[in-house]
Amino acid sequence: LGLSGPPGAGKSTFIECFGKMLTERKYKVSVLAVDPSSSTSGGSLLGDKTRMTELSRDMNAYIRPSPTRGTLGGVTRTTNEAILLCEGGGYDVVLVETVGVGQSEFAVADMVDMFILLLPPAGGDELQGIKRGIIEMADLVAINKADGDLIVPARRIQAEYVSALKLLRKRSKVWRPKV
């Protein structure tokens, strides 16, 4: 599964919760987290793993943070090979967290079975902020943080994306993207 979304959408938190649910069901889970690299030093914080404290201690989980090192598309130059290695290593589920979202950070969509776009509610003009390119590639749009005072904005954003997806050309004859 490939996951992308804007900063603060809760990608790492979602992955930790989902990953823990899978390991509790006896699945082996691999997480390939991609972090941006500094254009000055080339370094990266690789902080996604620190947000997955429970999952990082789980013996049925493997978390590998990697810097982009200037690669565009939201993944690293070797993400596809890393996915294959994890599958070959016996991991049942491979979760790829992209560097973040933009109009063209969806290279992972061609590497995974399902591409999930994770969005927070009430983040401004969502349909303007998340442009057509990444929406066209999403197999699933998940509105995250949809509780408390954000229930109403989450429902509104859900309705907007359901409408927007109806206007896009279908990528598959059998699957219709869900929101």
pLDDT in tens, 49-89: 667 889 999 999 999 988 776 666 667 788 899 999 999 99
Spatial distance between the Cα atoms of 113 and 119, rounded to a whole number of angstroms: 20
Residue 151 CB partners (closer than 8 Å, separation 6+): none
CATH-assigned architecture of domain 1-165: 3-Layer(aba) Sandwich (3.40)
Tokens 């994306």 belong to: 161
DSSP 157: H
Q: Does 129 score more than 50 pLDDT? A: no
Residue 67 CB partners (closer than 8 Å, separation 6+): 34, 35, 36, 37, 42, 43, 44, 46, 76
Q: What is the CA radius of gyration of the chain?
A: 16
Percent of the chain at pLDDT > 90 equals: 42
Q: Does 42 score more than 60 pLDDT? A: no
Q: Which of 131, 102, 135, 130 is nearest to 116 (CA)?
A: 135
User: Is the distance from CB of 8 to CB of 124 less than 8 angstroms?
Assistant: no
Domain-wise residue ranges, the chain: 1-165
